[in-house]
Amino acid sequence: MTNPKMIKKVGIIANTAKERSGGYTADLREWLLARGLDVCLEEGIAAKIGVTDQSEKGLWALADLIIVFGGDGTILRTARLLAERDVPIVGVNLGVFGYLTEINLDEMYRALEEILTGNYQVERRMMLQVEIMKNDVILHKCSVLNDVVINRGNLSRLVELETAVDGRYLTTFKADGLIVATPTGSTAYSLAAGGPIVFPELDCIIINPICPHTLTNRPVILPDGVVVEVILNTREPGATVTLDGQTSFPVLYEDRVVIRKSAQVTRLISSPHRGYLEILRTKLGWGGSQTGAPRRENDAV
């Protein structure tokens, strides 16, 4: 975790598809302005609430803190937008709290009071850099927080994915696809595909086949310094590469997907009121009711 810095300018990003995101954003903006802070809004939510006297450029260039209204998907989008910026992100969930949007609406102002006084911790979350290549030409390049998924798309049969680690052949997966995930992404699609839960502040790379033809193909956890290269060996068109579950690109026979640890990280402000273990218990329904959990002063880790 990193030490906090003084907050003077706050940016707000919101999922405009959420019905009440405009009202919450307008109320929070007024609350922040009343405390003498500069506030900048993402273009979409600014238009939704009728704010025109600000430039979105300031959101990316000058903000000391980004507050995100939405769910984990909105955090993933924000993480990619801010990949090259050293700015912490705090997520406020408009539903139940998620793995990444840790703060609930009913505790938002109480949590922000603590954050604005410097009482917060920043978690540095590893990202992956992905390059989609044809021959030696990079078609697409991006950093992702959760995962890179190579899947069969609209193909009617399994894809063949020749996979190497640091130039050394690992295996050719015959499967519905392959997930390459960060520890943060270990509780997303990779978990649904039978992958391990990895503590999010660790640095490692998870390779997890989706419904493999060979049942002995199991998830593998690799050191964070390796380079994973996946070559599509299926001639029939239709396979895709999906980044963080949000952006997809078609890939063709012998296209390569090269994945390594990104030089960028995502900086997430952890909730001052709950730790990762509590979030994990709640999201996965471990131990039934929270009232049955052992009494501990602090399970934040």
Where residue 65 sits, what CATH number does that domain have? 3.40.50.10330
Question: What is the average pLDDT across 37-61?
Answer: 83
**Any bridge partners for residue 132, and if so which?**
140, 257
Dihedral in degrees, nearest 10, Cα atoms 49, 55, 58, 64: -20
Tell me the pLDDT of the chain averaged across its residues: 89
> What CATH number does residue 147 fall under?
2.60.200.30
Same domain, 191 and 236: yes
Position 19 scores a pLDDT of 87
Q: List the domain range (segments joined by +) for residue 71.
A: 9-120
What band does 55 get if pLDDT is binned at 50, 70 and 90? low
Same domain, 165 and 246: yes
**Any bridge partners for residue 165, and if so which?**
168, 228
Is the whole model's pTM more than 0.75, yes or no? yes
Three-class SS of residue 231? strand
Three-class SS of residue 254? coil
State the catalytic residues.
Answer: 72
Whether residue 30 lies inside any domain: the answer is yes
Position 52 scores a pLDDT of 84
Same domain, 109 and 180: no
Question: What is the average pLDDT across 93-100?
Answer: 78
Highest mean pLDDT among 166-170, 284-288, 295-299 belongs to 166-170
Position 291 scores a pLDDT of 47
